[in-house]
Structure 1
Amino acid sequence: MCLHQPPCPAANTAERDTAHIVASYPEQGWSLLCNGIVRFDDTGELLPDGQIIAPCRTAGVAA
């Protein structure tokens, strides 16, 4: 439950990525957002309901 004012966006909204970071583990490549989302450094996400959001890949960028 978010205690920020105004409250952070819910995990099922388009603005979900703007929620505050409550735990950060850069050495492991992920952060926990206030709305329960686990956001990975590769831009992938794991939502609280278990849904996976695939990483955004930019076409034409060499690895």
Structure 2
Amino acid sequence: MCRHHPACPSAYASDRAAARVVATHPGQGWSLLCNGVVLFEDTGLLLPDGTVVAPSRTPVAA
């Protein structure tokens, strides 16, 4: 899907969220990346095959 040089990470690479944004919908809270991943503002991901990746939560220090 990506036509950039160098190519963006694939949807299944560990750094997949580093791909370029091709469409953004801030009012709905999501962006489409050029590798086909939908990135949600809570850091959750939807991969092209329908797999859901839960949001990454950073522990808060007490």
Q: Taking structure 1 as the reference length, what is the TM-score of the superposition?
A: 0.89
Q: Show structure 1 runs of 5+ residues with no match.
A: none
Q: Show structure 2 runs of 5+ residues with no match.
A: none
Q: Taking structure 2 as the reference length, what is the TM-score of the superposition?
A: 0.90
2:25 is aligned to: 25
Q: Distance in 2 between matches of 1:7 and 1:59?
A: 32
Q: Distance in 2 between matches of 1:5 and 1:52?
A: 28
User: What percentage of aligned pairs have identical amino acids?
Assistant: 57
1:39 deviation in Å? 0.2
Paired amino acid for 2:38: V
Total equivalences in the alignment: 61
1:8 deviation in Å? 0.7
1:45 deviation in Å? 0.3
Q: Structure 1 stretches (4+) deviating beyond 3 angstroms?
A: none
RMSD over aligned Cα atoms: 1.2
Counterparts of 1:9-48 in structure 2, within 5 Å, are 9-48=9-48
